């Protein structure tokens, strides 16, 4: 387990942020796949993912309880088949929703001025 976590952080430092969404998705999915703790792996991985998003100029996201099945299926696609695309697509869609929300807030503020 120690070696897997160590390799995770080595891999993370070597990955390039050419695609920040994919980097954030990989960070989350890989940490969950390693599963280093008895409890709190999901929470920790979502925190690390949002740190990656923020560090690359994106907004933090949250995954609604209603999306839990899609979330688990996307993570399973990575864990079993090394297919990150379903999870990266999910993160991109959630990021788009957050951006739309924030842009709506900005528009409403401008209309009040």
Tokens 């957050």: give the residue.
98
Compute CA distances 2 → 35, 46, 79, whole Å: 11, 20, 19
pLDDT surpasses 90 at 107 = yes
**Residues 66-97: tens digit of each pLDDT:** 999 999 999 999 999 999 999 999 999 999 99
**Residues 22-36: tens digit of each pLDDT:** 999 999 999 999 999
pLDDT surpasses 70 at 17 = no
**Catalytic residue ranges:** 35
pTM of the model as a whole? 0.88
> What integer pLDDT is reported at residue 1 of this predicted model?
74
CA distance 5 to 20: 21
Residues in the chain: 113
């Amino acid at each position: 387990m120690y070696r897997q976590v160590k390799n995770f952080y080595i891999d993370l430092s070597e990955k390039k942020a050419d695609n920040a969404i994919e980097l954030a998705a990989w960070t989350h999915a890989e940490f969950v796949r390693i599963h280093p703790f008895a409890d709190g792996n999901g929470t920790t991985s979502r925190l690390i993912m949002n740190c990656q998003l923020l560090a690359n100029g994106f907004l933090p996201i949250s995954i609604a309880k209603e999306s839990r099945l899609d979330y688990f299926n996307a993570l399973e696609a990575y864990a079993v088949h090394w297919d990150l695309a379903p999870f990266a697509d999910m993160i991109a869609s959630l990021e788009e929703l957050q951006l739309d929300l924030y842009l709506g807030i900005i528009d409403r503020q401008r209309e009040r001025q």
